[in-house]
Structures are given as C-alpha cells and as structure tokens.
Amino acid sequence: MFEAVDLSRKLSKSDYKGLLPGLQFRLWELQRACWESAIPSIWVFDGWDASGKGPCIRKLTARLEPRGFELHHVTDAPRTHELDLPWMWRFWLDLPRRGQIAIFDRSWNRRLLVQRVEGSIDELIWRRGLRDIGDFERMLADDGYVIVKFFLHISKEEQLKRYEKWKKDPADSWKALEGGWQKPTHYEDHLVASEDLLQNTELLNSPWNIVPATDHRTVLVEVLETLIDRLESALVERGVELPKQETSEKDAD
C-alpha cells in the first residue's frame, strides 16, 4: 500500500492559497447541511509520529462551526478504571450525536500498532483486535455514520529530520519523548505493522486514505478534498439536495 504513495508531491504556495479558502468554506457548508440532515460523521487521523496530524486538524477545523464537532486525542493506554471494561468501550463513549462530527487524533487502531511494534501482543489477540475494529466500523456505517480515515505517511528520513527539529525547540522537545516507541529506529517494524493493519481494516464503507505528508500544504488540500467528496456523496445517497456552492472572500493564511 505504501509503495504506491508519492512522498515527493508538493503544492506551491500560490496554488495552496488559491485553493484553501474555497475548500474550507465548502466544508463548512457541508458541515451545516449534515447538521440539518442529522448525518453524523467520524474523521480519523492516524499515521506516523511527526507526520503533522495535529497541525492538519487545527487548520482543517479553523473555519468550521465549533459547536458542531468534538476533537478526541487518543493516548496509548486506557485509564485505570477502563482496564476492566471491553477495550473498545471508551470509543463508543466518544461517538458524535446525529448531525455532529467526532475527530480522532489517533484512534482505536493505535493500541494494536503499539503492541505489535513492542512485541507485546500474540497473533490470536492481534486477529481478535482486527475483528473488533471491523465490527465496530461496520456497525457504525450500517447505522448511517460517515467514516473517513486518514493515514499520514512520511519517510524514515523525513521523520528523523522532524525529530531533530523538535529536539532543538524547547516548546516541542516533549514530543520526541512522548513518541518514543515510534522513533525512526522503529520505522521498519512500524511500517510492517501499519501495512498489515491497514490491509485488514480496509472496509467498503470506511476505506483508508493514505496521504503523503512530506508537504503540509499537500496534506491539508488532499484531506479537505476527500472530506468534501465523502460528505457530498453521503448527502446525495440520502436524497438531500447539496447546498449551492458559494465562495468565501476570506483569504488563506
């Protein structure tokens, strides 16, 4: 899956500034239309540490109605009181209400990846986890949720460059420590585990979108275009007339 991704793709600053305002405004129009039509959606952002998930989400949501979405940052391990509960329990609690959006910065996939890279999960538990994820997403899709999954992909060299940049900046140095299991020294192990997981959780109604993340402008535009396409399709499938596409006079930052 990853070998087909062109990590060298770049978008010029002028093209980016020309595209961004219209895409952001269109996403806001579709957010409003989905709210009025009671269509819930789940946007999942997985990928490498240092691939730019956080900055992408911040820019993505900058022009959305803040009351219409909720952001969930998924940590590696469940909290103490969750240990005696089914492992997917905490994600059920974070599902959006009808018409709203739940955005996951990392997701239910992360547990399996961490344990696979660390070697702390056996094959039976790994396969059960994949089954649980498939059942979870199929059930939500059957119930009308729009699920859009992104995996932000960068090379080992790019990840190492970003780690080194983090270490030199006191405001960012904590990030290099937090993502220790996914440092460039574990890149090959993580690559194998990620490809296995993506192949086994590639579902008809919740396919993976692997986004080349070397260039931050390319990431944001591709994510916006994908979300717009999926939300427009969801509205059409439900017989809802698409909002007339208008233009915003606001310029890109």
* 249 found inside a domain: no
In total, how many domains does the chain have? 1
What is the pLDDT averaged over residues 128-157?
Answer: 97
What is the pLDDT averaged over residues 142-152?
Answer: 98
- pLDDT of 246 above 90: no
Nearest to residue 109, comparing CAs of 196, 1, 211, 210?
196
* 250 found inside a domain: no
Q: Which domain holds residue 50?
A: 2-76+88-152+189-236
* 172 found inside a domain: no
**pLDDT given at position 76:** 64
Strand order in the sheet with 41-47: 69-73, 101-105, 41-47, 146-153, 208-212
pLDDT digits (tens, 9 = 90+) for 102-122: 999 999 999 899 889 888 999
State the chain's mean pLDDT as an integer.
90
Q: Which pLDDT band, with edges at 50, 70 and 90, does 75 fall under?
A: confident
* 175 found inside a domain: no
Reading the block at residue 109, the tokens are 């996939």
State the angle between helix axes of 123-142 and 109-118 in degrees (0 to 180), rounded to the nearest 10.
Answer: 170
Nearest to residue 116, comparing CAs of 189, 65, 45?
189
* 164 found inside a domain: no
Tell me how far apart the alpha carbons of residues 32 and 26 are, in angstroms, rounded to a whole number.
10
* Contacts (Cβ under 8 Å, ≥6 apart) of 248: 21, 22, 24, 25, 63
pTM of the entire predicted model: 0.91
pLDDT digits (tens, 9 = 90+) for 165-224: 877 776 666 666 555 445 667 889 899 999 999 999 999 999 999 999 999 999 999 999
* 166 found inside a domain: no
- pLDDT of 253 above 50: no
CATH for 143: 3.40.50.300
